[in-house]
A = this chain, B = another copy of it.
């Protein structure tokens, strides 16, 4: 999508050296547009672990380029295994990470070492292009759901949690793709943006990318969504996901489950947008089978933002002797989900519907 009129993707091969990988350092947004150059697999692993890049689809794409950089350094079987292992361990919850790495490893290993660099770069580029095409398809299918509510020029209020926009993917986003398409077709959409503590990806990333594209939005505390639904100010919820089970349970940023409960309690449709690479066909119980990443307590005890003098500053908000806990994801059971918006269409969140849409995978 666009930043100040210029089209961007969230990851690309550097235009001048044609081998290093450029990303947007998302930890610096919305205050600075910093485009670091990644030149080794270890730098890629760090970028994923430290969340310079985040969002399940983008994590997968970035890891794919990490394999390419590893092959450039040493295209042996041993180094391929090493790279895949290191990259797979960077984040535990997103399934796309393992999907992308498995795809890269299978293909790259089938070529002789001398050809692996080229093959790896090509396949990583293909994963990126496929992601863009997939998200465009998700956008088209989700657009229908929004358009159906925009009768007689009525504004459609959509609540989203965390960031499942173009910054979380290579382009378009998952949850935000239908919103961008609706906006581009002059449908009057307005987005309630959950700030999404503790890392504030809603306030810092979703608000930023919606604003840069010109989409009307309002940031609210994570606590406010239920009240907004009670008073009739939310027409639908669309969120992304880091992993979907074969029966339609959805792991997403911590707090998503609470919005799923509120949507059901108020009769508001709750949609999850995802590329099918997010589906983990091997598991059928999100609560017991999806590992939930525990992140540093520092994310709870401190907040980073821009001080009055313009400098980026971190302040502590919890007394120095108090502990904090920081589970990063939760699981929204399939029973709370009105529909899954995939690149093949919208389906119910259950085993039969998912299998019907993706028969060869299920």
Q: Interface of A with B (CB < 8 Å)?
A: 30, 192-193, 195-198, 200, 203-204, 207-208, 210-211, 217-228, 230-231, 253-255, 257-259, 261-262, 265, 287, 292, 300-308, 313-319, 321-327, 329-331
CB distance A254 to B223 under 8 Å?
yes
Q: How close is A202's CB to chain B, nearest CB, in angstroms?
A: 9
| Residues in B neighbouring A316, C-beta threshold 8 A | 305-307
State which of B307, B322, B323 has its C-beta within 8 Å of the C-beta of A313: B307
Q: How close is A130's CB to chain B, nearest CB, in angstroms?
A: 31
By beta carbon, the residue of chain B nearest A193 is B322
The docked-state distance in angstroms from the alpha carbon of A265 to that of B330 is 14
| Residues in B neighbouring A254, C-beta threshold 8 A | 221, 223-224, 227
| Residues in B neighbouring A208, C-beta threshold 8 A | 319, 322
Q: How close is A6's CB to chain B, nearest CB, in angstroms?
A: 17
Given the known A-B contacts A222-B255, A224-B254, A330-B230, are A303 and B321 also in contact in the complex, defined by CB atoms under 8 Å? no
Q: How close is A273's CB to chain B, nearest CB, in angstroms?
A: 19
By beta carbon, the residue of chain B nearest A314 is B308
Q: How close is A91's CB to chain B, nearest CB, in angstroms?
A: 17
| Residues in B neighbouring A318, C-beta threshold 8 A | 30, 195, 203-204, 207, 219
CB distance A322 to B207 under 8 Å?
yes
CB distance A226 to B257 under 8 Å?
yes
| Residues in B neighbouring A308, C-beta threshold 8 A | 314
Q: How close is A106's CB to chain B, nearest CB, in angstroms?
A: 34
Given the known A-B contacts A30-B319, A195-B317, A318-B203, are A223 and B304 also in contact in the complex, defined by CB atoms under 8 Å? no
Q: Which 7 A-B pairs have the closest CB atoms?
A: A223-B255, A305-B315, A227-B330, A261-B261, A30-B319, A305-B317, A207-B322
The docked-state distance in angstroms from the alpha carbon of A219 to that of B210 is 31
By beta carbon, the residue of chain B nearest A206 is B322
Q: How close is A180's CB to chain B, nearest CB, in angstroms?
A: 17
CB distance B255 to A261 under 8 Å?
no
Q: Give the most central of A218, A223, A303, A316: most B CB within 10 Å.
A: A223
Known: A218-B325, A221-B255, A223-B330. 11 other contacts (CB 8 A): A195-B197, A203-B300, A207-B318, A217-B322, A219-B323, A221-B300, A222-B223, A231-B287, A258-B258, A307-B315, A313-B315
CB distance A226 to B261 under 8 Å?
yes
Q: How close is A172's CB to chain B, nearest CB, in angstroms?
A: 20
